Amino acid sequence: MLGELKNQIHPLPLSPIVAAKPWGRSQPSLFYEPDSSTSWGEVFLAIKDFGLISRIANGPLSGKGIHQIGQLWGRELIDPPGQTNWPLPLTIWLERTGDKPGPVRVKTGPEYWRVLSAEPDSWIGAGVDPNQSSWPQKLSRFSSEPGDSHIIPAGLPQALGPGLTVIKAGLVKIGLETLYNWERPQDIWDYQSAPDYKVPITNEPLINLDPPPTEDGFLLVGKTSGFEVRQLKTKFQSFDGGKFSIICPLSGQGRLNSSGPYPNLRLRPGSATIIPSGLGPHSIVSNSSITALCFSSTK
């Protein structure tokens, strides 16, 4: 069956991968509601990294891993093509905290964060106060509101405070270290990268982005050296195609219309859909309006 679809390029809806975490919560979410009452802390919408592989949710390639589609379609999926085993160029995930903060982490690549929901007095931790000796006091805290957008520079210690839901995006194959886990004693460090690798802490400040405009359109809302983020807020948007991207709805519902064996695809929050670079003209249509983020690699 795969061979029959080699030249029939179409959008690829992905199945979310849910991860229960100590800092998660089981209450329903506007942006993702799992089938069970899992206290989820992370939901990976698009990933081929850290031992996780996104799979196609439905349609003619249902259940296939994204690496298999890359091998099938070649540069029609990602142009220029990925490296060994066809990794996705980006990882996109939701992270949610309950009544406790997430771990303090530092990464070797930049990330884009968009705050989806925030309880009163919620905060994002980013950077350190050198005058403090322990992590609960050392982490610099910034108040957080729904709609806030940030670029987290490489090497910046960061964490989500309680009561937040955030969508995050970053390049694959970046180094990761957990500097402090609120569930463990202060003297335990959790190295998830190579044991002899130390991430330099540059402490470059958190970058606050201006709130995106509210008028209809497809607007650039965030950009790093490796990827860009655009916001769609409209009832109808047409595209010429030719560029790999991942669409993640935030609110509202709509449909993605295109050619190929799966021409009409439902879009809803808590999902991600890959637009292959070889897809021709396509459009997003909504009865009321749909707000979505579109992530595209620039490498």
Question: What separation in angstroms does the CA of 297 have from each of 137, 209, 236, 238, 245?
Answer: 36, 19, 24, 20, 7
Query: Is pLDDT above 70 for 68?
Result: yes
Give the Cα separation of 38 and 25 in Å (integer).
8
- Tokens representing 274? 């890959």
Residue 199 identity? V
Cβ partners under 8 Å of residue 216, min gap 6 = 233, 234, 235, 289
- Summarised one tens digit per residue, pLDDT across range 141-165 is 899 999 999 999 998 989 999 999 9
Beta bridge partners of 191: 177
Query: In the chain, which ranges are continuous DSSP H helix?
Result: 66-73, 135-138
Quick one: 149 exposed, middle or buried, by C-beta within 10 A (0-12, 13-18, 19+)? Answer: buried
Residues 239, 91, single domain; the answer is no
Residues 275, 177, single domain; the answer is no
Q: Is 264 helix (H, G, I), strand (E, B) or coil?
A: strand
Residues 167, 230, single domain; the answer is no
Mean pLDDT, the chain, integer? 83
Residues 59, 199, single domain; the answer is yes
Give the Cα separation of 123 and 153 in Å (integer).
18
Residues 171, 236, single domain; the answer is no
Residues 184, 267, single domain; the answer is no
Cβ partners under 8 Å of residue 171, min gap 6 = 89, 90, 91, 109, 110, 226, 227, 297, 299
Q: What is the DSSP letter of 24?
A: E
Output the pLDDT for position 162.
92
Residues 262, 239, single domain; the answer is yes
Residues 180, 148, single domain; the answer is yes
Domain with residue 133: its CATH number is 2.60.120.10
Give the Cα separation of 181 and 100 in Å (integer).
11
Per cent of the chain over pLDDT 70 is 83
Residues 148, 260, single domain; the answer is no
Residues 181, 236, single domain; the answer is no
| Mean pLDDT of the region 113-130 | 90
| Mean pLDDT of the region 258-284 | 91
* Cβ–Cβ < 8 Å for 256, 265: yes
Task: Examine the fold and report which residue of 192, 209, 226 is the final residue of a domain before the chain moves on.
Answer: 209
Question: What separation in angstroms does the CA of 20 have from each of 37, 41, 159, 209?
Answer: 10, 5, 17, 30
Maximum C-alpha span of the chain: 63
Q: What is the DSSP letter of 108?
A: S
Query: Is pLDDT above 80 for 83?
Result: no
Q: 99 versus 114: which is more confidently predicted?
A: 114
Query: Is pLDDT above 90 for 36?
Result: no
Task: Examine the fold and report which residue of 184, 209, 234 is the final residue of a domain before the chain moves on.
Answer: 209
pTM: 0.89
Residues 199, 238, single domain; the answer is no
Residues 10, 103, single domain; the answer is yes
Q: Where does the pLDDT of residue 124 fall: very low under 50, low under 70, confident under 90, or very high at 90 and above?
A: very high
Task: Examine the fold and report which residue of 181, 209, 237 is the final residue of a domain before the chain moves on.
Answer: 209
Output the pLDDT for position 187.
45
- Tokens representing 214? 């509210």
Output the pLDDT for position 257.
95
Task: Give the residue numbers spanning the domain of 131.
Answer: 3-209
Beta bridge partners of 106: 177
Owner of token pair 């809302």: 221
How many domains does one find in the chain? 2
- Summarised one tens digit per residue, pLDDT across range 235-267 is 999 998 888 999 999 999 999 999 888 889 999
- Summarised one tens digit per residue, pLDDT across range 203-236 is 678 888 876 655 556 788 899 888 999 999 889 9
Give the Cα separation of 227 and 214 in Å (integer).
22
